[in-house]
Amino acid sequence: MSNPPQPAGADSEPITVAQVLQTLARGVIQEDHGFLPWGSNYAYLISVADDERTLLAVYKPQRGERPLWDFPDGTLCLREVAAFLVSEALGWQIVPPTVLRGGPYGLGSVQFYIDHDPEVNYFTPLPDACLPQLQRFAAFDYVVNNADRKGGHCLVDGQGHLWGIDHGICFNHAPKLRTVIWDFAGKPLPEDIRSDLARLCELVSQEQGVLVQALLEMLAEREVAALRRRIERLVEAGVFPLPGPGPNYPWPPV
């Protein structure tokens, strides 16, 4: 990653994504800062520390997930991790570093907390530098079949980088794309985005490859197969996806 995330509010030496992942996965959960009330599922702000650093993170326990008719129970935290794996494979820095681990309420996803202004989101004026990032969001959400890209799921950090959160209802094998980001629908994909997608297509076509094997630990086989087909279609079409039949926007939109 060209601009690795930094600890919220800390004046410290830059850290790499690998270091963040190591702390999130192996560090000690020192403090529970409380329940985050704005989501549909249970989420907590926690501190995770090892010998090198202390990080803020968002912990979403598996047993705090609300049952959904169209997603298997207990899989939302797995999908959060799968979204990070795809984001990393693309090199797009959309999803903050995320791991699966045990916590005070059992197994769950633990995601690096992005320090941001909560009043800034997709529906407020974003920095000009965010335009190419929004294009990546539009392509990424189609690829992962994001059923819930709300405006409030787009966070801008102190360096002007755009991050996406809340990917628990992604990767369904059936079309589920619901997003507020339709700005680029039907327009040609920029060449760099198409090239990155073509590279990702090669990776997910390697059934014994590292990425596919990691995804199969989080998703069903038919969901990984559907992921591969979506990438292939997007690369072949060469344009941003258009809204399909059915609801195309999440509710509420923020």
Instruction: Print the domain residue range for 120.
Output: 17-237
pLDDT digits (tens, 9 = 90+) for 77-93: 999 999 999 999 999 99
Give a yes or no: residue 6 inside a domain: no
Give a yes or no: residue 253 inside a domain: no
Looking at the 3D structure of the chain, how many domains does it have?
Answer: 1
Model confidence at 11, pLDDT cuts 50, 70, 90, reads very low
**Average pLDDT in the 37-55 region?**
89
Helices and strands in the chain, H and E counts: 6, 7
Residue 96 has pLDDT above 80, yes or no: yes
**Average pLDDT in the 155-179 region?**
95
Q: Are 30 and 138 in contact (CB under 8 A)?
A: no
Q: How far apart are CA 25 and CA 48, in angstroms?
A: 9
**Dihedral (Cα; 17, 200, 102, 165), 10-degree rounding:** 70
Helix (H) or strand (E) holding 151: none
Here the tokens at position 66 are 């609300």
As a whole-number percent, the residues of the chain with pLDDT over 90 amount to 80
Residue 38 has pLDDT above 70, yes or no: no
The residue among 13 and 83 whose pLDDT is bigger is 83
For residue 41, what pLDDT is reported?
Answer: 85
**Dihedral (Cα; 158, 167, 121, 16), 10-degree rounding:** 10
The residue among 106 and 4 whose pLDDT is bigger is 106
Give a yes or no: residue 191 inside a domain: yes
**Dihedral (Cα; 132, 193, 229, 234), 10-degree rounding:** 80
Residue 9 has pLDDT above 50, yes or no: no
Give a yes or no: residue 56 inside a domain: yes
Closest CA to 54 of 74, 85, 13, 24: 24
Residue 195 vs residues 30, 184, 187, 203: alpha-carbon distances, Å: 42, 18, 16, 13
Give a yes or no: residue 12 inside a domain: no
Give a yes or no: residue 5 inside a domain: no
Give a yes or no: residue 149 inside a domain: yes
Residue 138 has pLDDT above 60, yes or no: yes
Residue 213 has pLDDT above 60, yes or no: yes
Residue 74 has pLDDT above 60, yes or no: yes
Model confidence at 155, pLDDT cuts 50, 70, 90, reads very high
Give a yes or no: residue 31 inside a domain: yes
Cα separation of the two ends of the chain: 28
**Average pLDDT in the 52-69 region?**
95
**Average pLDDT in the 148-173 region?**
95
Residues 6 or more apart whose Cβ sits within 8 Å of residue 24: 48, 55, 57, 97, 98, 99, 101, 110, 111, 112
User: Over 208-232, what HEC string results?
Assistant: CCHHHHHHHCCCCHHHHHHHHHHHH
Model confidence at 8, pLDDT cuts 50, 70, 90, reads very low
Return the minimum-mean-pLDDT range out of 97-106, 114-123, 199-208, 219-228: 114-123
